[in-house]
């Protein structure tokens, strides 16, 4: 049975259909048992709307969620070239980003700061926070359409991500899942990431990536980058001031126009306003599974209080290594 989320507590732009709600055929129906009959319906909704929320199904364990996610025909992916801390829960299943509960994680498409990313992403609410903790989502096509033309034109050639790993950000050993420099270099060379070893075991990487992308299956144009997360304007003012004083141009992470020139703060103020205008939010319930097309729908995390456990799986790798 399918219905839109209009019956539920939800805030969204007036014309948004995200997410499509799918509920059991009968009370207590196991999600794994329902997968065969639902697979085609889910695929159709993902292409058209970008995301589905499976609510009310029996999901007795993380392993059942893992089997459900793996049942769409693609092996679950490891979390590589990380930008945020996560912990492995099981093969192909990770914790959601481990930032403090009081922090907001802005809207983003998973690994859009690289030239390789998962096409599918799943979230499973094992324990819904008693207060907050939503996973807001947004239509990446609608974001692109609403984005001011002067920003779309300036970002069309791509944007340049610069990362300095170490004391003020994730260490390179954690990001690349290795202690071996040669393995880091091989990964970077294959992924078209520029690398430079610095003093005190430091590492600096640069990568020109897409800011706007074309969905390989639907042909839709989408806003697809994490520029607003990596740009220095994403930092709290006092943190930014301290880091600029300590690090100069070697900030832990920053983003530039494709030609290497500085992106003014005001540009990302406009970007964030568009993201806010397209945000859809709903309350998690225990047992919920949210499945997104990672190019058609962005996701975020709201601050929360109390216990919260949301696990994540990703699959179907796609990329554009030859674009730039």
The chain-wide mean pLDDT, for the chain, equals: 93
CB 106 within 8 A of CB 300: yes
Integer Cα distance of 64 and 29 in angstroms:
13
Q: In the predicted model, is pLDDT for residue 2 greater than 50?
A: no
| 2-140+281-319: CATH number | 3.60.130.10
Give the percent of the chain with pLDDT over 70: 96
pTM for the predicted model, two decimal places: 0.94
What size, in residues, is the chain?
324
**What's the rounded mean pLDDT across residues 262-267?**
98
Domain 2-140+281-319 and domain 143-273, same fold? Reply is yes
Q: What element of type H or E holds 132?
A: strand 131-132
Domains of the chain, by residue range, sit at: 2-140+281-319, 143-273
In degrees rounded to 5, what are phi and psi of residue 203? -140, 135
* Position 78 confidence tier, pLDDT thresholds 50, 70, 90: confident
Match 């340049």 to its residue by tokens: 160
Q: In the predicted model, is pLDDT for residue 132 greater than 80?
A: yes
Query: What would the two tokens of residue 168 be?
Result: 């003020």
With CA atoms as reference, report the closest residue to 289 among 40, 29, 50, 58.
58
**What's the rounded mean pLDDT across residues 4-22?**
75
**What's the rounded mean pLDDT across residues 46-72?**
97
Q: In the predicted model, is pLDDT for residue 6 greater than 90?
A: no
With CA atoms as reference, report the closest residue to 141 among 320, 295, 15.
295
**What's the rounded mean pLDDT across residues 9-38?**
91
Query: What would the two tokens of residue 157 be?
Result: 């050639």
pLDDT (tens digit, 9 = 90+) per residue, 172-190?
999 999 999 999 999 999 9
Between 130 and 1, where is the model more confident?
130
Per CATH, which fold does 143-273 belong to? Double-stranded beta-helix (3.60.130)
Instruction: Establish whether the linkage from the previous residue to 19 is cis, with ω within 30° of 0.
Output: yes
Query: What would the two tokens of residue 308 be?
Result: 């919260």
Q: What is the pLDDT of residue 231?
A: 98
* Position 10 confidence tier, pLDDT thresholds 50, 70, 90: confident
pLDDT (tens digit, 9 = 90+) per residue, 219-258?
999 999 999 999 999 999 999 999 999 999 899 999 999 9
Euclidean distance between the first and the last CA atom of the chain, given in angstroms as a whole number: 44
Q: What is the pLDDT of residue 4?
A: 42
Give the percent of the chain with pLDDT over 90: 83
Q: What is the pLDDT of residue 1?
A: 41
CB 52 within 8 A of CB 291: yes
CB 200 within 8 A of CB 186: no
In degrees rounded to 5, what are phi and psi of residue 315? -160, 175
CB 112 within 8 A of CB 206: no
Q: In the predicted model, is pLDDT for residue 324 greater than 80?
A: no
Q: What is the pLDDT of residue 8?
A: 57
CB 255 within 8 A of CB 154: no
């Amino acid at each position: 049975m399918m219905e839109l989320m209009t019956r539920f507590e939800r805030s969204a732009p007036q014309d948004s259909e995200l997410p499509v709600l799918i509920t059991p055929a009968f009370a207590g129906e196991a999600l794994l048992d329902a997968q065969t009959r639902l697979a085609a319906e889910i695929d159709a909704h993902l292409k058209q709307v970008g995301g589905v929320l499976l609510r009310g199904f029996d999901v007795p364990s993380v392993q059942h969620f893992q089997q459900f996610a793996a049942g769409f025909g693609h092996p679950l992916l490891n979390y590589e070239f990380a930008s945020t801390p996560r912990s492995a829960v099981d093969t192909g299943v990770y914790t959601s980003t481990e930032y403090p509960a009081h922090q907001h994680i802005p809207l983003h498409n998973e690994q859009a700061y690289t030239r390789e990313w998962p096409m599918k992403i799943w979230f499973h609410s094992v324990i819904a926070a008693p207060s907050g903790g939503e996973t807001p989502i947004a239509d990446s096509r609608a974001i692109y359409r609403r984005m001011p033309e002067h920003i779309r034109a300036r970002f069309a050639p791509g944007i340049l991500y610069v990362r300095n790993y170490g004391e003020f950000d994730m260490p390179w050993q954690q990001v690349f899942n290795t202690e071996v420099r040669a393995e880091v270099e091989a990964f970077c060379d294959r992924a078209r990431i520029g690398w430079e070893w610095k003093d005190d075991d430091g590492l600096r990487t640069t990568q020109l990536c897409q800011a706007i992308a074309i969905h390989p299956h639907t042909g839709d144009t989408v806003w697809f980058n994490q520029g607003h997360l990596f740009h220095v304007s994403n930092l709290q003012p006092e943190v930014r001031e301290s880091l600029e004083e300590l690090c100069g141009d070697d900030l832990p992470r920053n983003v530039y126009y494709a030609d290497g020139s500085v992106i003014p703060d005001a540009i990302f103020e406009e970007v964030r306003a568009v993201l806010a205008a397209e945000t859809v939010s709903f309350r998690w319930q225990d047992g919920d599974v949210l499945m997104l097309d990672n190019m058609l729908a962005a996701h975020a995390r709201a601050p929360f209080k109390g216990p919260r456990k949301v696990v994540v799986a990703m699959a179907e790798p796609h990329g554009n290594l030859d674009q730039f």
